[in-house]
Chains A and B, each alone.
Chain A
Amino acid sequence: MTAISDTTTRQASSPYGEAARQALWAALLSFGLFFFFIGLESTQDISNRLILQSHWVTLAIVVALVALGRFLFIAFVIPAVDRRRANRAPIAVVDEKDQSFIRRHRFKIMIALLVLYPIFILSTAGLQGSLKWVNNFGVQVLIYVMLAWGLNIVVGLAGLLDLGYVAFYAVGAYAYALLGTEFGLSFWILLPAAGIMAAFWGIILGFPVLRLRGDYLAIVTLAFGEIIRLVLINWREVTNGSAGISGIPKITFFGLFDFNISSPDYILKVLPESIVTLFALRPSGAYYTIFLYYLILALAMLTAFVTIRLRRLPVGRAWEALREDEIACRSLGINTTNTKLTAFAIGAMFGGFAGAFFAARQGFINPESFVFLQSAIILAIVVLGGMGSLSGIAIAALVMIGGMEILREMQFLKIVFGQSFTPELYRMLLFGIAMVVVMVWKPRGFVGSREPTAYLKEARAVSSTFTKEGHG
């Protein structure tokens, strides 16, 4: 008791002294931790002997950074947070009533920003410079947003833990790749076909796992994902095995024009001469990327629209009720078998759409794109965003996937860690750290509360303390 009161009084009197003390401890701890990880490196010399190489400067920098971070955290961040918490309580009640313009129209604003994003990039980075930004940050993130929204139906709404979601992504991708290359069918025909096929496989998976819950369900779905991948690897006659399928046809603009420079329907050849000269358009791959961006944006918006609609329909409510209490569902006359199967099928369908898009965008696919890690990342995005919340999931996808892409750009870290430091190798480490931090800070994800699907007087979000995660 005395020790506790001692520290609190000391903290209150001078945060800097306490911060310095804590920083020293943090430095010691990190020194102990990183001594072998960073400080020493065992390598072979020319005559193949094992020698120890020391990196004292790097170690010192890391330890100093940790100590500095701890010092700043104790001395400034914690008092600031406390002050804000003390000040915030009375204010929050007041401004809850009159929501600001931005808050009320936040979804419309978000969509407008997403639509304007490529135009903004084009005007700042130019035609060639825009490629990277639109492709890596736009298309890549939106694919994951769509996948996570699809998985959200299964995991977030119906509460069925699915660790093999990437299987449906693979089914969609291979459906488009095989049918597109073999029969030359158009993307616009194969997109629904890929969705239907994935939904079919969703039902195939759904049937045997209907009776399973929780951990058992997770394991079986995990196995299902692996089965699909192994079939893709080993069924060489059809899938070409690990070598994958290349030369997947590009998407055309509904057959009106396309994006192959050599094709007679190339966009610049089809567009009126005046427009081409007016904007001084040059042949470039950027048109296709921008087209892909708007396509995946439309697909993602379709996913969101359908999810929002479905939540207000009886089937969507039944999914959420299933997550809350399956036995009560059955006592109310809900056919839980059909309800689960529709959740699997519709979730899988959006995975299939995303897969077909992915195949068309890459032009080449092989089973390496559909490993378990992909399922894990998609699931992580759903959990991180807050199960069931579309906006939370979109933010999580942006943070996780966009964050990973940003790390490629952080070449300045080489100055700190030496020329041999490759930031992209640390992507997964930071991914993990980010997840731990978010889960500690917000255990139910970015948006833990759920919006009611119907209301009498006013729609009040349901706090995450009441919602359940489902039993599998």
Chain B
Amino acid sequence: MADTNLQTPILSVEHLSMKFGGLVAIGDLSFTAPRGEITALIGPNGAGKTTVFNCITGFYKPTEGMITMTRQSGEKFLLERLPDFQITAKAKVARTFQNIRLFSGMTVLENLLVAQHNALMRASGFTVLGLLGLKSYKDASRESIEKAVYWLEKANLIDRADDPAGDLSYGAQRRLEIARAMCTGPELLCLDEPAAGLNPKESLALNELLLGIRRDTGTSILLIEHDMAVVMEISDHVVVLEYGRKISDGTPASVRSDPKVIAAYLGVDDEEVTDALVEVGDDHILEEGDVAPPPALGPSETSSMFEGPIEDTVEEAGSETIVPASPAASKAAQVEAQTGATDPVKPKGPAQ
């Protein structure tokens, strides 16, 4: 690995836009993922995090923008131009899915062997030599099982190796999906909500697995996560999205204290927004309810993310930062309107 390579970010996303018809899911997003670090992509539901992932891993072709993956060898790949399977095969970007996608009818071991498809395919002479039962394939086959065993041990699944993947518990399936992605030998691992649905103990085990991956293999990690305990604990770098735009970017500590982030994502409850709007006499709110605002009034998804120490910031963020606006407006934009925009990233209001 050349020294210059250390400074070049492993992944750089420049001016990425993704439109679905009239809906702008991502608007002019730029960020970089530093090499050898864990980068977290956070934001309220519907902020476009998974869309960014799908663009990076080739499942969507972005409307505009450039996604550059720089491998350790210095080779550069423009991911938006590669077919999806080559992004894993050549650019060495592996991913997991928000709703787990395992080969449930195959055993745990087989899942990891499927992930080594390309290496085994070459070893088997594209099936011809393997069909003849040559020794070279048998050796490669043994090596692939050793590699699978290594990751099974890492993921603490070695005892379940011969069980069907569909038979595992939810937490074990998550770990298996990460182990499977690692078996493709990636340089960048993209995890879509790896801690979703895990209990605190499993979540802790996941943290260790991810830190272990970074420590032992030097793989850079890009992850989407709602569980702030995981994000703040393990990530070196956090990018915050809201309505498809970046509103903050930096270390976990700096992001945590960014008032825009607090307003948009960590800080203000929807109910509090409504309360504040009622207080200042917003027309929409007054029209809609003659009683105290019902909890179902606004999208309630964001309210589920307030956990742990972050909740402490809610109080400060509260009434002073809220400005009158339509309820659907970007909360970060509200903060900006109040405090006067100084950040170069300017949200242009709600994406419809």
If A452-B110, A457-B162 touch, whether A332 touches B117 (CB-CB below 8 Å) is yes
Chain A residues in 8 Å Cβ range of B104: 324, 466-468
Contact assessment for B145 and A331 in the assembled complex, using a CB-CB cutoff below 8 Å: no
Kindly provide the distance from the CB of A182 to the nearest chain B CB, expressed in whole angstroms.
32
- List, in ascending order, chain B residues with CB within 8 A of A336's CB: 85
Given known contacts A310-B131, A333-B118, A450 and B105 CB-to-CB distance under 8 angstroms = yes
B127 interfacial contact with A, CB 8 Å? yes
Inter-subunit contact B184/A332 (CB<8 Å) = yes
Determine the chain B residues whose CB is within 8 A of the CB of A334 once the complex forms. Answer: 85, 114, 117-118
Kindly state the separation between the CA atoms of A452 and B103 in the bound complex, as whole angstroms. 12
A318, closest chain B residue (CB): B117
A462 within 8 A of B: yes
Shortest distance from the beta carbon of A260 to any chain B beta carbon, whole Å: 36
Assuming the contacts A314-B124, A457-B162, asked whether A331 and B107 have C-beta atoms less than 8 A apart, the reply is no
Q: A320-B105, A456-B109 are in contact. Are A313 and B117 (CB under 8 A)?
A: no
- A-chain residues with CB within 8 Å of residue B131 when the two chains form the complex: 306, 309-310, 313
When the two chains form their complex, are residues B117 and A324 in contact, meaning their CB atoms are under 8 A apart? no
| B57 in contact (CB, < 8 A) | yes
B168 to chain A, nearest CB (A): 10
Min Cβ gap A59→B in Å is: 49
Tell me which residues across on chain A come within 8 A of B121, comparing CB atoms. Answer: 314-315
Residues in B119-177 with C-beta less than 8 Å from chain A: 120-121, 124, 127, 130-131, 133, 137, 141, 145, 149, 158, 161-167
B162 touching A328, Cβ below 8 Å: no
For the complex formed, measure the closest distance between the CB of A192 and the CB atoms of chain B, giving whole angstroms.
15
Query: For residue A306, which residues in chain B have a CB less than 8 angstroms away from its CB?
Result: 131
Q: Mark A225-238, 1 if CB is under 8 A from B, else 0.
A: 00000000000000
A460 with B163: CB separation less than 8 A: yes
CB atoms of B105 and A466 under 8 A apart: yes
A453 at the interface (CB under 8 A from B): yes
Q: Are B114 and A317 in contact, CB atoms less than 8 angstroms apart?
A: yes
**A327 sits at the interface (CB 8 A):** yes
Closest to A460 in B: B162
What distance in Å separates the Cβ of B80 from its nearest Cβ neighbour in chain A?
16
Inter-subunit contact A324/B107 (CB<8 Å) = no
Q: Restricting to B55-81, which residues have a CB under 8 Å from any CB of A? A: 57, 59
Name the interface residues of A426-472: CB closer than 8 Å to any CB of B.
Answer: 450, 452-460, 462-463, 465-468
Q: Give the shortest distance, in Å, between A455 (CB) and chain B (any CB).
A: 5
A309:B133 contact, CB within 8 angstroms: yes
Q: Tell me the nearest residue of chain B to A458, going by C-beta.
A: B162
Given the known interface contacts A318-B114, A321-B114, the answer about A332 and B105 at a Cβ–Cβ threshold of 8 Å is no
CA distance A310 to B166 in the complex (A): 23
Report B95-123 CB contacts with A as 1/0, cut-off 8 Å.
Answer: 10100011111110110011111101100
**A323 CA / B114 CA spacing, docked (Å):** 12
Band of interface residues on A:
35 or more
Over the window 59-84 of chain A, the binary record of Cβ atoms lying under 8 Å from chain B Cβ atoms (1 yes, 0 no) is 00000000000000000000000000
The reply to whether the CB of A368 lies closer than 8 angstroms to some CB of chain B is no
The stretch among B8-16, B37-45, B86-94, B204-212 that forms the contact with chain A is B86-94
Chain B residues closer than 8 Å to A463, beta-carbon distance: 164
Q: Does A325 contact B (CB under 8 A)?
A: yes
Whether B85 pairs with A454 at a CB distance below 8 angstroms is no
| B84 contacts A by Cβ under 8 Å | yes
A462 to B160, CA, bound (A): 13
Question: Given A313-B124, A314-B117: A462 and B107 within 8 A (CB)?
Answer: yes
Roughly how many angstroms separate A241 CA and B149 CA in the complex, as a whole number?
59
Question: CA–CA, A465 to B84, complex, Å?
Answer: 30
With A313-B130, A331-B84, A332-B114 known as contacts, the answer to whether A324 contacts B106 (CB < 8 A) is yes
Q: Known interface pairs A314-B124, A318-B117, A454-B113. Does A324 touch B105 (Cβ–Cβ under 8 Å)?
A: yes
**B109 and A455 contact, CB distance less than 8 A:** yes
Interface size on B (CB < 8 Å)? 48
Residue from B102, B105, B115 whose CB has the most chain A CB atoms within 10 Å = B105
B103's partner among A320, A454, A458 (CB-CB below 8 A) is A320
Query: Do B106 and A321 have beta carbons less than 8 Å apart?
Result: yes
B180 within 8 A of A: yes
- Say yes or no: A452 contacts B85, CB within 8 Å: no
Instruction: Please indicate the chain A residues that have their CB under 8 angstroms from the CB of B87 in the complex.
Output: 333
Q: Write out the residue numbers on chain A whose beta carbons fall within 8 Å of the beta carbon of B114.
A: 314, 317-318, 321, 329, 332, 334
Q: A332-B115, A333-B86, A452-B110 are in contact. Are A321 and B59 (CB under 8 A)?
A: no
A332 touches B163 (CB 8 A): no
Question: In the complex, how many angstroms separate the beta carbon of A152 from the nearest chain B beta carbon?
Answer: 15
Structural contact, A456 and B117, CB atoms closer than 8 A: no
Chain A, 296-330, contact with B by CB distance < 8 Å: what is the 0/1 string? 00000000001001101111011011011101111
Question: Chain B residue with minimal CB distance to A305?
Answer: B131
Contact: B118 with A325, CB < 8 Å?
no
Residues of A within 8 A of B116 (CB): 314
Q: How far, in angstroms, from A332 to B85 measured CA to CA in the complex? A: 7
On whether A331 and B94 interact (CB within 8 A), knowing A456-B162, A459-B162, A467-B105, the answer reads yes
A335 interface hit (Cβ, 8 Å):
yes
Across-interface contacts of B165 in A (CB, < 8 A):
466
CB <8 Å contact, A331 and B163: no
A460 to B160, CA, bound (A): 11
Q: With the chains together, A333 CA to B186 CA distance in Å?
A: 11
Q: In the complex the two chains form, is A310's CB within 8 Å of B127's CB?
A: yes
* Bound: A460/B161 CA distance, A: 11
Residue among B114, B116, B120, B180 with most chain A CB within 10 A: B114
Given contacts A330-B85, A331-B57, A331-B95, contact A466 B130 (CB under 8 A): no
Q: Do residues A466 and B166 form an inter-chain contact, with CB atoms below 8 A?
A: yes
- Given A453-B110, A454-B109, A467-B105: A332 in contact with B88 (beta carbons within 8 A): yes
In the complex, are the beta carbons of A328 and B145 less than 8 A apart?
no
CB distance from A238 to the nearest CB of B (A): 33
A82 to chain B, nearest CB (A): 29
Contact bitstring B181-201, A, C-beta under 8 A = 1, else 0: 100100000000000000000
Can you list 6 pairs linking A and B with CB atoms under 8 Å apart? Answer: A309-B133, A317-B110, A320-B105, A333-B87, A455-B107, A462-B107
Given A317-B113, A327-B97, A468-B104, 12 more A-B residue pairs with CB atoms under 8 Å apart are: A310-B127, A314-B121, A317-B117, A320-B103, A324-B105, A332-B85, A332-B184, A452-B162, A454-B110, A454-B141, A459-B162, A466-B165
